[in-house]
Amino acid sequence: MTALAPLLPVKHRLGPVTTVRHCLTLGGRNLLHLKSNPGEIIGFAVVQPLMVIALLVYVFGGAIAGDTATYLQYALPGLIVQSSVTSVLATGTGLHQDISNGLFDRLRSLPIARIAPLIGHLIGTLVRVMAGLLMLLVVGAAQGFEMRTGFGSTLGGLLLIALFATGMAWVSMLVGLAAKSATTVHMLTGMLAIPLTFCSNVFVKTDTMPGWLRTWADINPISQEATALRALTSGGPVGNSVWWTLAWTVVLTAVFAPLAIQAYRRRV
């Protein structure tokens, strides 16, 4: 027993500064692979925004709003919100892939904070999401979108999206940790994204929807977020949309973050 004593691991509690440093390091690791795969960032941050605006604004804009310029002013904030949601829901896929490849087993053997791999994925996802949203805003501005409220309000709108994306990321990570296969992760996140983004005011106003659908669309957090971003970028009444978006963020984080952390501890 005496000979084996030195081999037993010494448990110690890491300080908050060390934990934050580990989280940032692994967040950088999740972005580092983009250097060897630049096609991913080009496709996500350049090609995708161009295709989204071309297909949705210039194909459907005239039929929905009468002309593409009017529809671009309405739709672009909604498209930014939709892009953030669909992108952040991919967090669970990357998380599931790392666990399946045994990466987390290797990280667990290192003297790092146990929560760092999870937060690292969250950080990496948020950076990629914000890069894509900025490019989408730049492309939209080049097509004629007017930011009528100034830089400060526009920046506040993007930060609001980042906060809400954090809450949605916990949902995606829980799916990635609970699902048994990557196919299941894709299916579940896709099933989640469709009613959230299409049953909202992202693409059209809710006035012409059936009553039951309009009720959901009006309380849908995606609708609240899109309304807040439209007001913060194009002007108009903000109402309670910002507060509703923040409230949804708090609820999603409070409910799904503990569940995701618990699932992560069981999984690894």
The 10s digit of each residue's pLDDT in 151-177 is 889 899 999 999 999 999 999 999 988
pLDDT of residue 39: 62
Note the pLDDT tens digit of each residue in 203-250: 888 888 898 989 999 899 999 999 999 999 988 777 889 999 999 999
Q: What is the number of H-type helices and E-type strands within the chain?
A: 13, 0
Q: Which residues of the chain have pLDDT under 70?
A: 1-15, 33-46, 48-49, 104-105, 107-110, 268
pLDDT of residue 249: 94
Provide the angle, in degrees to the nearest 10, between the axes of the packed helices 116-143 and 91-100: 140
User: 197-208 in b/e burial notation, b at 16+ Cβ within 10 A?
Assistant: bebbbbbbebee
Provide the token pair at 215.
Answer: 């009720």
8 Å CB contact between 167 and 249:
yes
pLDDT of residue 6: 44
* Three-class SS state of 220: coil
